[in-house]
């Protein structure tokens, strides 16, 4: 035919169904098959018949009450060498679980969505395709206009996010599908009548934008439309860039068999990172390897569209819990200077003696450092470092001012511990917030000032601030699919990006736990003289960071220290990052040339730790 649809929707009663669609000229496109105005059994049979002929369902829509609903769809011939995995589910009552399901061990993404039935007996069709490249997306359904506008503002507060589809039910509720792929300029609008639709099309096309999505609905006999216009019909392609100092490998080394060629020299760091980033959709990353504080390799990686920055080796990334390495160094300095001891009772040192749980009075510095302070976020059902809104609303001011670290401390003192301090280990962000507050209290200066004067020693480490207005010019975009209530304005009912206060944390109050930013090279250098896990001088071990918009790793192993920083934690599968650091990058160290080549690269004397 030479045309293919970019959107398709049906609406109105089955006996008088109406359709809206957009067709684009594509003379060399794949063969298409279409059907419409058919009952579900007929539609299902049509789909399965074409599936067997290697056709892929690209559009699905339905209208009418469940018993009399009619369906329409488009299928196209799959010409890809690796056939597309796809799945259609119709007649479902709850759409949410289907957006995250895997099929055949593959991660899927929402391709199409349709709401039908009646308001009190709503049904859904969800079409999912294999998510090659791990594209980010978010789906929100059954939203009234006022709710959708709040959702919409939250979604586009995430850098580069935009609406991809604005599906609509017959009672005009919106299902918004959002993504972070780039199409240049774009514009969207909702609930337009025919007159407004005509005017909007004229206005936006005069600006050079293309109508790519139109979804219709009928209410009290009048038709309404949701529309999306884009500068580009298809998303921009990503490009691969690598900069920085290359690793220096041993090409030959001695074994009991004699001098042999290194088997790992072909497994370059660059090829490892390229495969990882393209598989998982990671746009920005750095890897640095140091020996005795001297950088032996620092690589900056970009797998992104041309409207994103190309990563440089000195760009700074949110460190997440790798920030705790600096807190441990600060505590160690105070202990060595005699201002504190490992057995210092933390709350008593801060002047608190009235904890609801008397066991809290005996929590020591050492116990907090070792995550043995009695706080277990899993048993408590919350991580209070991500619960600033809750603490803010518990104050007498009831949201008129945001909570501080001191407010969080006093909130926690009014609640019981989950176990007796020292009894076991349970990871605690709050414990490190408490340590940072104590460092400031003991030294009499703000925590960051103490770090800058005594710990960083010229290294480029900064605070990752909460407000989105602080990040207009960021070169590194910390990417997350999530949004949440704005912790800086909890009474506004405003949704913002998770990394800009929507994850429940006020970053300025959590500096000691997870709020610092730095480059991979900075982290690798620092690890050359400090323990990455625990306190004291350098020793084998590792520390990991895992926060919305960030995944980080620093490790000391034999002669080398290496760091990996990524601008997201949304991977194809959860184990991807551990596989990268443990099974891909760590073995490369055996072939690296240390700062003092005569030293022996000790085999793994591993003090495991991620806190």
Active site amino acids:
321
- For residue 497, give the 3-state DSSP assignment: strand
What tokens were used for 541?
């071990």
CA distance 362 to 376: 17
Q: Do residues 442 and 436 touch, judged by C-beta distance below 8 A?
A: no
Contacts 24+ apart (CB under 8 A), 187-192: 187/228, 187/229, 188/162, 188/163, 188/226, 188/227, 188/228, 188/229, 189/226, 189/227, 190/145, 190/148, 190/166, 190/226, 191/145, 191/224, 191/225, 191/226, 192/224, 192/225, 192/226, 192/227
Q: Which of 506, 523, 493, 526 is nearest to 464 (CA)?
A: 506
3 state DSSP class of 255: strand
Distance in angstroms (rounded) separating the CA atoms of residues 84 and 104:
12
Concatenated DSSP letters of 410-470: HHHHTS--SS-TTSS----HHHHHHHHHHHHHHHTS-HHHHHIIIIITT---EE--S-GGG
573 and 506 Cβ atoms separated by less than 8 Å: no
3-state secondary structure of 486: coil
Q: What angle do CA 455, 456, 459 make, to 5 degrees?
A: 165
C-alpha torsion sign, points 293, 296, 302, 307: positive
Beta-bridge partner residues of 592: 249
Going by the DSSP 8-state scheme, the letter that residue 403 receives in this structure is: -
CA neighbours closer than 13 Å in the CB half-sphere of residue 193: 5
DSSP strand E in 233-366: where? 239-245, 252-255, 258-261, 284-291, 294-304, 317-318
Instruction: For residues 302 and 422, give the distance between their C-alpha atoms in angstroms, rounded to a whole number.
Output: 44
- Look at residues 81, 130, 136, 127 and name the one whose alpha carbon lies nearest to residue 104: 130
Q: Using CA atoms, how far apart are residues 30 and 49, in angstroms rounded to an integer?
A: 17
What H or E segment, with its residue span, contains residue 332? helix 324-336
d(CA 284, CA 8): 35
Q: Which of 573, 571, 586, 514 is nearest to 545 (CA)?
A: 514
Structure token digits, residue 25:
């000229």
Q: Which residues contact 496 (CB under 8 A, 6 or more apart)?
A: 154, 157, 468, 483, 484, 485, 486, 502
Place of tokens 């691969």: 240
Q: What is the DSSP letter of 382?
A: S
């Amino acid at each position: 035919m030479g045309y293919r649809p970019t959107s398709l929707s049906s609406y109105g009663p089955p006996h008088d169904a109406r359709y809206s669609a957009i067709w684009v000229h594509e003379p060399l496109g794949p063969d298409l098959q279409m059907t419409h105005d058919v009952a579900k059994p007929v539609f299902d049979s049509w789909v399965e018949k074409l599936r067997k002929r290697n056709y892929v369902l690209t559009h699905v829509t339905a209208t009418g009450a469940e018993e009399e609903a009619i369906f329409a769809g488009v299928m196209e011939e799959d010409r890809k060498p690796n056939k597309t995995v796809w799945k259609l589910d119709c007649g479902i009552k709850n759409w949410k679980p289907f957006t995250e399901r895997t099929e055949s061990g593959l991660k899927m993404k929402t391709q199409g969505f349709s709401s039908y039935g009646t308001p009190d007996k709503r049904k859904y069709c969800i079409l999912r395709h294999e998510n090659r490249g791990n594209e980010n997306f978010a789906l929100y359904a059954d939203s009234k206009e006022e709710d959708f506008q709040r959702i919409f503002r939250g979604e586009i507060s995430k850098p580069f996010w935009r609406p991809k589809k604005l599906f609509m039910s017959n009672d005009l509720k919106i299902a918004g599908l959002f993504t972070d792929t780039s199409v240049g300029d774009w514009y969207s609008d909702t609930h337009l009548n025919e007159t407004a639709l005509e005017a909007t099309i004229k206005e936006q096309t005069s600006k050079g934008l293309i109508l790519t999505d139109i979804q219709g609905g009928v209410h009290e006999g009048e038709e309404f439309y949701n529309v999306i216009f884009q500068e580009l019909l298809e998303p921009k392609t990503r490009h691969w860039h690598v900069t920085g100092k290359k690793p220096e490998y041993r090409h030959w080394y001695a074994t009991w068999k004699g001098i042999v060629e290194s088997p790992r020299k072909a497994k370059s760091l660059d090829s490892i990172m390229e495969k990882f980033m393209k598989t998982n959709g990671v746009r920005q990353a750095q890897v640095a390897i140091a020996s005795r504080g001297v950088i032996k390799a620092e690589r900056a990686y970009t797998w992104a569209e041309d409207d994103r920055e190309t990563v440089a080796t000195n760009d700074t990334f949110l460190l997440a819990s790798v920030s705790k390495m600096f807190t441990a160094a600060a505590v160690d300095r105070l202990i060595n200077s005699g201002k504190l001891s490992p057995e210092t009772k933390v709350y008593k040192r801060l002047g608190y003696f009235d904890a609801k749980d008397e066991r809290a009075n005996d929590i020591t510095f050492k116990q907090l450092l070792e995550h043995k302070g009695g706080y277990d976020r899993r048993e408590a059902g919350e991580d209070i470092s991500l619960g600033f809104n809750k603490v803010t609303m518990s104050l007498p001011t009831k949201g008129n001012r945001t909570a501080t670290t001191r407010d969080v401390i006093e909130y926690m003192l009014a609640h019981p511990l989950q176990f007796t301090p020292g009894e076991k280990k349970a990871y605690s962000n709050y414990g490190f917030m408490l340590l940072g507050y104590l460092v400031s209290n003991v030294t009499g200066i703000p925590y960051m000032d103490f770090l800058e004067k005594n710990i960083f020693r010229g290294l480029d480490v900064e605070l990752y601030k909460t407000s989105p207005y602080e990040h207009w010019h960021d070169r590194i975009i910390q990417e997350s699919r999530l949004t949440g209530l704005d912790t800086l304005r909890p009474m506004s009912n405003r949704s913002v990006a998770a990394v800009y206060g929507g994850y429940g944390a006020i970053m300025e109050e959590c500096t000691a736990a997870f709020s610092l930013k730095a480059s991979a090279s900075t982290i690798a250098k620092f690890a050359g003289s400090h323990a990455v896990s625990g306190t004291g001088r350098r020793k084998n071990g590792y520390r990991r960071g895992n926060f919305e918009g960030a995944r980080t790793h620093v490790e000391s192993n034999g002669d080398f220290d290496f760091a990996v920083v990524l601008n997201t934690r949304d991977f194809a599968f959860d184990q991807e990052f551990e596989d990268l650091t443990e099974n891909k990058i760590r073995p490369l160290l055996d072939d690296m040339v240390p700062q003092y080549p005569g030293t022996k690269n000790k085999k793994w004397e591993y003090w495991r730790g991620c806190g």
